[in-house]
Amino acid sequence: MTATSLKSYTVKDLAQMARRRGVQGWHSMRKDALVKALLKAEKNGASNGKARASKNGAKQLRSTAPASKTAKTAAKRNGSANGSAKRKVKESRKPAKKVDPKVARRIQRTLAEREQRRDLAAMSNGKSRKKSNREPHDRVVLMVHDAFWLHVYWEFTRQAVDRARAALAEQWHAAKPVLRVMQVRGGSTTNTTESLVRDIPIHGGVRHWYIDVQDSPKSYRVIIGYLAENGKFHTLARSNSVTTPRPGANDPVDENWSDVMEDGDRIFALSGGFDETRASGDLQEIFEEKLQRPLGGPMATQFGAGASGVIPAKEDFKFKVDAEVIVYGQTRSDAYVTLSGEPVKLRDDGSFSVRMNLPDSRQVLPVVAQSADGREQRTTVLSLNRNTKTMEPVIRDPAD
């Protein structure tokens, strides 16, 4: 230690240092004398034990001395740390920020719409059940529209969709309903191969789809299911197989079921209904439901070898009477016409006709025509009432 450094200490600090170093008469010395005595003690070489004591004393003096800048900085840091910790505790105790109810409703509505578009059973369990007492079941029916178009119709139960949800597990939330078009090769049912043509995304709320195909004639089948993001495909149902005709070989079939009813046997034959190797019970069932009559009989001879598998006539005597109604009219050729909310196809002269089944009940059918620019609209409401009564059968004895 130097004299300059020692003079920076107070008399009290120097006296304590002198006492620890064993300086005689330290309690009566002034500051200058204490400095000289400490320098002399260092020069004489105090013992190792006394030197260590002096160092310990110096450290103790520095700890008892007024706080230096370093000590103050440390204290400030400790204080700021304690303050930040207190703030964190307060922030953690604060309640979570409430979500805007409008935003929450918008999110819920978006999720509900997404789930509805994924649900292929929604329409099968709703509208179809209101129109018929028949319970829906899982089926896919493929029909030939013409050489370049196929028409597929499907129906699924709630259980089928629930099974798909369980099978896909965590992949369900990103899975999409898909219509998978397969090309069928091979002449016999025991030696056929299928290759993927393409996947067509579909959505809930509809029950039919039109598929464009190329290079006719070819045979096709469709599979409907859910495709997950990882490539996993869960099948709901497979359709019957059909073969498209050569281009120009047949007149096109109109897309409305009302027009299909007028030419149902021909469309049934084109879709392979009379072909035993490709026969589909679902295909025949859906046609008989729409046509409201059995298929087969004399129609088999009108369509050649493809219609050779005629359904044998049953011995039971059946008699069924039904009624239809034809709604027709005319407007401008560029107008947009709807019947009960469904679009109606207009002819070139603006005339139209729709053939509909007349159920045994009262019906209200609004017919709306709207101009091409949307500025004018005309509405006509038809009210129809049918009341059918079935009499008891009369059975006569052959001896009479």
pLDDT at site 235: 92
**Domain match, 158 and 288 both:** yes
Q: By mean pLDDT, which of 128-132, 342-346, 350-354 is the weakest?
A: 128-132
**pLDDT tens-digit readout, 164-217:** 989 988 888 888 999 999 999 875 556 678 899 999 999 888 888 999 998 888
Q: Is residue 81 part of a domain?
A: no
Among 338, 323, 342, which residue's Cα sits nearest to residue 384? Answer: 323
Domain presence at residue 75: no
Are residues 332 and 188 both part of a single domain? no
60 and 145 assigned to the same domain: no
Grade residue 71 by pLDDT with cuts at 50, 70 and 90.
Answer: low
Whether the per-residue pLDDT at 67 is higher than 50: the answer is no
Same domain, yes or no: 302 and 328: no
In this structure, are residues 288 and 267 in contact, taking their beta carbons and an 8 Å threshold? no
Residue at 110 is within a domain? no
User: Do 298 and 334 have their domain in common?
Assistant: no
- Do 245 and 299 share a domain, yes or no? yes
How high is the pLDDT of residue 81? 60
**Token reading at 266:** 């021909």
My answer on whether 149 and 269 are in the same domain is: yes
Pair 30, 134 in one domain: no
pLDDT per residue as tens digits for the range 290-335? 666 666 544 443 443 344 444 444 457 788 888 888 899 999 989 9
Q: What is the pLDDT of residue 128?
A: 47
Final residue of a domain: which of 64, 81, 108?
A: 64
d(CA 105, CA 329): 45
Q: Judge if 49 and 148 occupy the same domain.
A: no
Q: What is the dihedral of CA 167, 170, 171, 172, to 10 degrees?
A: 70
Instruction: Determine the distance from the C-alpha atom of residue 348 to the mean position of all C-alpha atoms in its chain, rounded to a whole number.
Output: 41
Query: Percent of the chain beyond pLDDT 70?
Result: 64
The fraction of the chain above a pLDDT of 90, given in percent, is 18
CATH code: domain of residue 337: 2.60.40.10
Question: Does some domain include residue 82?
Answer: no
- Give φ, ψ of 216 to 5 degrees: -70, 150
pLDDT (0 to 100) of residue 302: 46
Same domain, 341 and 381: yes
Quickly count: other Cβ atoms within 10 Å of residue 96's Cβ.
5
pLDDT tens for each residue of 108-144: 777 777 777 788 886 655 544 455 556 678 889 998 8
Residue 88 lies in a domain: no
257 located within any domain: yes
Mean pLDDT, the chain, rounded, equals 75
> What's the pLDDT score for residue 77?
60
Give a three-class secondary structure readout of the chain: CCHHHHHCCCHHHHHHHHHHCCCCCHHHCCHHHHHHHHHHHHHHCCCHHHHHHHHHHHHHHHHHCCCCHHHHHHHHHHHHHHHHHHHHHHHHHCCCCCCCHHHHHHHHHHHHHHHHHHCCCCCCCCHHHHHCCCCCCCEEEEEECCCCEEEEEEECCHHHHHHHHHHHHHHHHHCEEEEEEEEEECCCCCCCEEEEEEEEECCCCCCEEEEECCCCCCEEEEEEEEECCCCCEEEEEECCCEECCCCCCCCCCCCCHHHHHHCHHHHHHHCCCCCHHHCCHHHHHHHHHHHCCCCCCCHHHHCHHHHCCCCCCCCCCCCCCCCEEEEEEECCCCCEEEECCEEECCCCCCEEEEEEECCCCEEEEEEEEECCCCCCEEEEEEEEECCCCCCCCCCCCCCC
Whether residue 63 has pLDDT greater than 60: no
Residue 200 lies in a domain: yes
Residue 249 domain-assigned (yes or no): yes
Euclidean distance between CA atoms 300 and 87, whole angstroms: 88
Name 263's Cβ contacts closer than 8 Å, sequence gap at least 6: 253
Assigned token pair, 335: 């107008």
Same domain, 336 and 283: no
The residue among 39, 64, 89 that closes a domain is 64
The residue range of the domain holding 44 is: 3-64
Rounded-to-integer distance, Cα 183 and Cα 222, Å? 9
Check whether 47 has a pLDDT greater than 80. no
Q: Among 307, 335, 355, which residue terminates a domain? A: 307
Same structural domain, 248 and 370: no
Q: What pLDDT does 386 receive?
A: 87
What pLDDT was estimated at residue 73? 60
Nearest to 205 by CA among 132, 135, 112, 280: 112
Q: How many domains does the chain have?
A: 3
b (16+ CB within 10 A) / e for 257-267: bbbbbeebbbb
